[in-house]
Structure 1
Amino acid sequence: MSSRCEVFLEILLAIMLPPLGVFLRNGCCSCEFFICVLLTLLGYIPGIIYAVYAIVVRGAQPDDEYWQPINP
């Protein structure tokens, strides 16, 4: 779990350069990163909106627990 300070700095970086904030949260080969790069190239504001969404909402849900099988 990330601290509030880490999340705040990632959001600040996402406002200045949206893919950088997503990169710090998810890495460079993630789907979120490529979507953020595409949206930033198409328009700066959609890139910022998606970056904040990817950091705050998607970052709070760990993918490992989501993809566990129902019957182990």
Structure 2
Amino acid sequence: MVVTPFAFLMLDVLSWWLTKINPLFAWLTIIGGIGYTLASAYMWFVSVIQMWWYPWRGKVMDENCWR
């Protein structure tokens, strides 16, 4: 999943140049933008879940312990 946003970003930038040759390549711009957005959002959500939810799972916190 780490490589996916970069691949979509390269597809997006490449499609800008290809659209100058043929306007039908504009669909690649849309696909690249949507793919990049979804892949980045997925990576963000996974990171937030791992940072905020996993550290607390299964731990019981004392009232005297503020970790």
TM bracket, shorter-chain basis: 0.3 to 0.5
Greater RCO (Cα-Cα under 8 Å, separation 6 or more) = 2
